[in-house]
Structure 1
Amino acid sequence: MEKLKRPVYLKPGTDDFFKMLQREVRETVLKNSFLYRLNIIKSIGLLVLFFLFYTCILLFGKSTPLLYSFYILCGINMIVLFINAFHDAAHGALFKKPKHNEWFTYALELFGSNHWLWIRRHVGLHHAYPNVPDWDIDIKQSDIIRIFPNSPLFNYHKYQHIYMWFIYPLYSLNWIYIRDFKDFFGKKDNYVKKVVDQIPKKEIYKLFAAKVFNLIYLLFIPMLVLNQPWYVVLGAWFAMHLCGSMLGVVALVSTHVDEDAHFPVTDDEGNLSASWALHQMIVTKDFSTDSKLANFLYGGFTHHVAHHLFPGVGHTYYPYITPIIRRYAQEYDLPYTSYPFYHAVRSHFRMLKNKGVKENILMTGEI
């Protein structure tokens, strides 16, 4: 598969705002070592809590209400652990030593996926070129949904703002049992293969091993040890994925793909029209930054502008970085958006409705 020519950002000027922003954040916020320890305590605590809920499935799952309750708690904890702890570790932002971050990223294998693939997909493509058509693979996932202006328009897309309400709750199931295989073995729109020379064979073995292990401990062992019909356990397992996905989708749809989203394209030479830092601010949104509950559940996604500007910094620092970003946005007339999560979700589905029909060329959001 041929290599793609990577987009090129505009070079920043000598008075670039991001250089001054980095200096201020480094000299003030990042010196707070308590926030580093807090992140580690939270991350390890979430991992322990997941196994506690799983143990409760085995101990108390003979009661159907408790079986469903603890499976659902596992699903919610799975997503919170992923969004907070694993996400930070994948960016090298959880621990100071790279090997410790690498060890923690195996939490993704615990849930049946592959951390090697996800890091290349998310860090190497999404963070490098967010919202750039044909490069941001976190947005371009399937022809079922149309988001990018240059994506093919099918007749069924006129209903995507309706049917995606029923598909989004299947997000984790699609990720683990469909999307991973498409990224490893698929040829159509496989941008991972276009930027990776070769997928190591050991990662393919690990992919299958993780999925088998995940099904054994989360599904088959409860079926064997609990005095419950197999279909009751299967239903609880399914409820775990539904509830976890619904929680996670709020973060996925609230940060890059609302009705005012921009999808910058390159010129004929492959150049983008903004510097890297300005591009991050143009295409990224915050949501519910003042909510302590949202900040705990969604970590670096509520303060997503800070995350895209400082991906190597743990999410516990972001509530203190965001006010500085807001000030710079006002001083330098930079784009910055933050809104409640319910507004973000509503705006996303309005965007789906707009993208389900042929666009006016003036509304494509290109810059």
Structure 2
Amino acid sequence: MEKLKRPVYVKVGTDDFFKKMRLEVNETVLKNSSLYVLNVVKSLGLLAAFFLFYACILIFGNKTPLLFLFYILSGITMIVLFINAFHDAAHGALFKKPKHNEWFLYVLELFGSNHWLWMRRHIGLHHAYPNVPDWDVDIKQSKIIRIFPNSPLFNYHKYQHIYMWFIYPLYSLNWIYIRDFKDIFGKKDNYVKKIVEKIPRQEIYRLFAAKIINLIYLLFIPMMLLNQPWYTVLLAWLCLHMSGSALGVVALVSTHVDEDANFPGTDEEGNLSATWAMHQMIVTKDFSTESKLANFLYGGFTHHVAHHLFPGVGHTYYPYITPIIRRYAEEYNLPYTSYPFYHAVRSHFRMLKNKGVKENILMTGEI
């Protein structure tokens, strides 16, 4: 498959705000080693909590209410673990040594995903070109939903602000059992294959192995060991994915795709209109930054501007980096947005409603 010509950012000038910001962050916030320790302890604690809840499924699962309770707690913990620990490890930000981050990411395979493939999607495409049409595959995943202005508009999109309420809770099921296979074997609009020379054969084997192992221990072993009908365990397993996905989607929809979202395109030569750092400020937003609960659950997503500007830094540092970003935004007249999560979710579905119909040029001022 032919290589693509990647988008090109504007070159950094001599008075770039990010040079000064990065120097200040390095000299102040990043010297606090206790935040590194906190991140490691939190990540390992979440991993232990997940397997504790899984053990509770096997121990207490003969009682149906407890079966559903511990499956749901496992689903929530799975997503929180992914958003916090695995996300940081993928960016090399959890442990100081790269090999330790790599080892930890292999644990992700137990959850049915493939970390090699996900890193190509998330880091190679989303972080490299956030909100850029046809490049940010974390946003453009399916024709079922229309977000990018240049995406085809189908009649059913007029209802997307309604039906996506029912599809989003299936997000993790789609990721594990549909999207991964499309990225490995799909040929149409497969940007993962266009940015890598060749998908290693061992990653294909690992992809299948991860999904089989995940189904065995999360679904089939409880079916065999518990004195429960198979369909009851299956329903509880579905609740695991639906509860986790519902929690995780808040992070996904709150940081890049609201009704005021920007989707910078390239010119005919593939050039973008801003520097890399300015682009991150334009397309990324924070939510619920003052909430300790939100910061614990969503890690680097509540302070998402800090994450996009400093992706190699652990999320426990972000609450201390964000005030610096706000100060520079005010000083340099830079775009910066932070709002409560309920506003973010509401704004996202308003965006879906707006993107589901043809634009009215009388309202957009393009006449």
Amino acid aligned to 1:338 = S
Partner of 1:75: 75
| Worse-matched range after superposition: 209-218 or 100-109 | 100-109
- For structure 1, list consecutive stretches of 5 or more residues without a partner in the other structure: none
Alignment of 1:200-211 (within 5 A): 200-211=200-211
Partner of 1:324: 324
SS in structure 2 opposite 1:96?
coil
SS in structure 2 opposite 1:105?
helix
Distance 1:170 1:308 in 2: 26
Percent identity, please: 85
Partner of 1:296: 296
Partner of 1:112: 112
Partner of 1:345: 345
Q: What TM-score comes out, normalization by structure 1 length?
A: 0.98
1:30 correspondence with 2:30: yes
Deviation at 1:189, TM superposition (A): 1.2
| Worse-matched range after superposition: 103-112 or 31-40 | 103-112
Alignment of 1:1-367 (within 5 A): 1-360=1-360
- CA RMSD, 1 decimal: 1.0
Distance 2:350 2:211 in 1: 35
Q: Which runs of 4+ in 1 moved over 4 A?
A: 360-364
SS in structure 2 opposite 1:106?
helix
Deviation at 1:258, TM superposition (A): 0.2
Amino acid aligned to 2:179 = R
SS in structure 1 opposite 2:277?
helix
Deviation at 1:301, TM superposition (A): 0.1
Count of aligned positions? 364
SS in structure 1 opposite 2:261?
coil
Deviation at 1:359, TM superposition (A): 2.3
- For structure 2, list consecutive stretches of 5 or more residues without a partner in the other structure: none
Amino acid aligned to 1:302 = T
Amino acid aligned to 1:17 = F
Distance 2:129 2:362 in 1: 23
Distance 1:363 1:9 in 2: 31
1:49-84 CA distances to partner (integer Å, 9 max, x unpaired)? 100000000000010000000000000000000000
Amino acid aligned to 2:225 = V
1:259-309 CA distances to partner (integer Å, 9 max, x unpaired)? 000000011111000000000000000000000000000000000000000
Deviation at 1:106, TM superposition (A): 1.5
Distance 1:294 1:241 in 2: 20
SS in structure 2 opposite 1:152?
coil
1:231-260 CA distances to partner (integer Å, 9 max, x unpaired)? 110010000000000000000000000000
